[in-house]
Amino acid sequence: MPKASIKSAREIACMRESCRIVAEVLRLLGSAIAPGVSTGELDRIAEEFIRSQDGTPAFKGYGPDRRNPFPTSICVSVDDEVVHGIPDGRVLEEWEIVAIDVGVKHNGYYGDGASTFAVGKVGEEKQRLMDVTREALYLGVAQAKAGRHVSDISSAVQKWVEGNGFSVVKELVGHGVGRNLHEAPAVPNFIAVGESGKGVRLRAGMTLAIEPMVNAGTDRIKVDADGWTVRTVDGKPSAHFEHTVLITEDEPEILTK
């Protein structure tokens, strides 16, 4: 099993810059999201900004299948789309929620982050889904301390989500991030029976992408014919929040804040 890399001060400085760009893209898109705006327009805004900062969109051209690389700069997932939605001409409508996932490469290092936004007004249940997912992320981050385990993060997320009547996606997980977009260790949002306090031990210098994906209904998911878009089996909405986090000897540092 690959080991998690411990980042040097120089590497962390590079990641801070890539993560700054990620955070600024999310803020920029958060102010642009409104009824009538297309998902493709959000992708255009994001790519233009990333490149203006001498960054590279990490997702564009990415993928294990060279015949079907991800075609756009960001993932835009609407309502029942969990992750990896492909921006196109779809126009956002009032009452929808939209998850934006952004990856940036800068000076050889990656940053990764996501937020879910309301499109105009949304109903109480969708708002609660977003609120619970966001809080689950921060509860997970609070466990990301040297000497603890990845399963402590997983447990905190799962208990909060399921205690609020929602479900965590189990087929997709968070991950290490740094010189590569996806590195060891895997960071699940759930724990198997008996795994609490076990598994990979966290060490100062690790950098993790912690990312709860939370469904209003079942945790079951399916992939569309495009080979990328993941959506809920029951058609109920899903929310996604993510931060790149640095493990330190003290409190965790959110690099994408």
Dihedral over alpha carbons 186, 192, 198, 204 (to 10 degrees): 30
DSSP string, the chain: -PPPPPPPHHHHHHHHHHHHHHHHHHHHHHHH--TT-BHHHHHHHHHHHHHHTT-EESSTT--S-TTS---SSEEEEETTEEE-PPP-SPBP-TT-EEEEEEEEEETTEEEEEEEEEE-SS--HHHHHHHHHHHHHHHHHHHT--TTSBHHHHHHHHHHHHHHTT-EE-SSS-EEE-SSSSSEEEEE-SS--TT-TT-SSBP-TT-EEEE--EEESS-S-EEE-TTS--EEETT---EEE-BEEEE--SSS-EETT-
Does the domain at 9-254 match CATH 3.90.230.10? Answer given as yes
**Domain residue limits, the chain:** 9-254
Asked which of 54-68, 71-85, 184-198 is least confident by mean pLDDT, the reply is 184-198
CB count, 10 Å around CB of 94? Answer: 12
pLDDT, one tens digit per residue, over 115-132 is 999 999 999 999 999 999
Share of the chain above pLDDT 90, in %: 95
| pLDDT-based confidence at residue 3 (cuts at 50, 70, 90) | confident
Confidence (pLDDT) at 154: 97
Confidence (pLDDT) at 192: 72
Specify the length of the chain in residues. 257
Confidence (pLDDT) at 1: 56
Going by C-alpha positions, the residue among 212, 204, 211 that lies closest to residue 252 is 204
Confidence (pLDDT) at 236: 98
pLDDT, one tens digit per residue, over 30-71 is 999 999 999 999 999 999 999 999 999 999 999 999 999 999
Kindly report the average pLDDT of the chain as a whole number. Answer: 96
CA angle 143, 145, 151 (to 5 degrees): 50
